Structure 1
Amino acid sequence: MARFTAIAADQANGATAQVYAGIKQALGKVPNAYAALGTLAPQALTAILSADKILASGPLSKADQETVKLAISELAGCDYCVAAHSMVGKMAGLSPDTLRQIRQGNATGDAKRDVLVRFVRGLALNPGTVPEEDVQALQAVGYSGEEIVHIGLAISVITFTNVFNRINDTVVDFPVPQ
């Protein structure tokens, strides 16, 4: 059971209702994590959704965004985000086996994706400045400077969501990943 009570989408009013309406239009429903955030801090939810819009219109593919979000969520131990981004990753074209390999930090068979996973995991697990060779490895497989900025943005967005869901113990309303 979640620690914070969320207002149901059909009972929301004011700023929360406006945010929920946009989510419902885009996703068909208001997921539990968004409902809790919208209830407690609609401006924080709006900020996260705005950052996701920037990611969606940026140069990083949806599959790469989901790779980043899934790898970080697994390391954070956020069962909610692992389930959500496994489902969205599948919708973005990642196979169940690839999703499993990303979660485990294993090779996926896609050299570019594997460099991305190693980079993201290294960044999450090692404090301090990122080694030059890690950035060069991303560039060597074709990631531009702008894409690398968007990798950082994706990490920032999912880190906030991971932290909130871990605090809230948000009830997972996505299929459990295979």
Structure 2
Amino acid sequence: MSRISTPEPQLAPEASQPTLNAIKAKLGSVPNFFRVLSNSPAVIGAHAGLNQGLSKALDVKTRERIALAVAAVNGCEYCNAAHTFTGYTFSKLSREEIERARQGTSEEPKAAAAVAFARKVAETRGKVSNADIDTVRAVGFTDAQVIEIVAVVAENFFTNLINNVAATDVDFPDI
């Protein structure tokens, strides 16, 4: 059971309502994570802004792979379930590729470099080596994309921390 309240969307603070309504329109329902965030209009708004901004960074499959790797590093049950579902259902990652992402790899060389770097960023809290950066650049990532990988790691750290603290009830189906 969640340690932080998970209000029904209509009972969330009024200032959280526009974001919750947008999520419901996009997904058809409001997952528990967003219901937990809705306790604070400032936090749900900040998350929405970060998520919207980073939706323009990298491709969706790479972002999902990073989310899975970071959830594995941080032991986030909720995010692991959520990104397994969204990675499989919307990004069309295979079950095998989802498992590879959790381990920080991929069968695609460029994706493997990105997710390995992301996992290293998560594990070392950003204290990567020059060789780590050189490796991700060697497969064609620009400095802008290296920063985007780091930002996607940070976004997922944020969601992992919220869900680990809240012990958010998982509401995504097993894949």
Contact 2:2 2:169 in 1 (8 A): yes
Aligned residue number for residue 26 of structure 1: 26
1:45-84 to 2 correspondences below 5 Å? 45-58=44-57, 60-84=58-82
What letter is aligned with 2:81? A
Extract structure 1 runs of 4+ deviating beyond 6 A. Answer: none
TM-superposed CA distance for 1:12, in Å, is: 3.4
Aligned residue number for residue 6 of structure 1: 6
Matches of 1:63 and 1:127, distance apart in 2: 23
Report the more deviating stretch, 115-124 or 74-83.
115-124
CA RMSD after TM alignment: 1.6
Matches of 2:133 and 2:119, distance apart in 1: 13
Matches of 1:26 and 1:127, distance apart in 2: 32
Matches of 1:13 and 1:67, distance apart in 2: 33
Matches of 2:159 and 2:122, distance apart in 1: 15
Matches of 1:103 and 1:50, distance apart in 2: 26
Contact 1:51 1:153 in 2 (8 A): no
Deviations 1:82-122 (A, max 9, x none): 011111112112111100111133x4321112112221122
Q: Which runs of 5+ in 2 are unaligned?
A: none
Q: Which runs of 5+ in 1 are unaligned?
A: none
Distance 1:127 1:52, change over 3 A: closer
Matches of 2:86 and 2:127, distance apart in 1: 31
SS in 2 for 1:7: coil
Aligned residue number for residue 98 of structure 1: 97
Aligned residue number for residue 37 of structure 2: 37
Deviations 1:22-49 (A, max 9, x none): 111222211101101102x121111111
What letter is aligned with 1:22? A
TM-score (norm 2): 0.92
TM-score (norm 1): 0.90
Distance 1:24 1:172, change over 3 A: same
SS in 1 for 2:45: helix
Matches of 1:148 and 1:82, distance apart in 2: 23
Matches of 1:20 and 1:55, distance apart in 2: 19
What letter is aligned with 1:9? P
Counting aligned pairs with the same residue, the percent is: 30
Matches of 2:16 and 2:106, distance apart in 1: 40
Contact 1:112 1:141 in 2 (8 A): yes
Aligned residues: 174
Contact 1:86 1:99 in 2 (8 A): yes
Matches of 1:128 and 1:36, distance apart in 2: 27
